[in-house]
Structure 1
């Protein structure tokens, strides 16, 4: 049979109900799991953000636009002398055709 000394030893070794109240229950662990799920993004959450391919496509589009602008600037620079001489050329045309100059 179990003696009083054995019961005292068992009480020291095994946890009591009061000791177990300090630990998490199943419900506590489920609630913690639910909160943890909200902290991390899902695949659906990440679909709204740009991907690497989206960024590469955007970069390609921008570079294409920049290349076009550079070509346009090159063309305009080629006509730079003619654009700078436009006032002189207009005055000559006005004199030659006898059109009065426009007053601004």
Structure 2
């Protein structure tokens, strides 16, 4: 992460900026844009699961695009299995983030 200021929570070297995180329990609530990706923060014994993305050459949370007809939860469960080999029956929806993506 490349710092933090009053305008955003975090940023990376590629210019992606985390603007906000909105806790939502199990209800996504009202948004002005559709959810396009799901990420999984899976904790076990005080450790967070990360997967290595070979294309970007970095460690990141498992997750990816929400396919047509999928809920964010279904996409997260599928992506967790595809990227980390972990099979779970259910996940808790924690909320949603607002990002500004970098030029790439």
Please indicate, yes or no, whether the TM-score normalized by the shorter chain is above 0.5: no
Task: Give the TM-score normalised by structure 2.
Answer: 0.14
Structure having the larger proportion of residues in helix? 1
Structure having the larger proportion of residues in strand? 2
Task: Give the TM-score normalised by structure 1.
Answer: 0.14
* More RCO (CA 8 Å, sep 6+): 2
Q: Larger Rg: 1 or 2?
A: 1
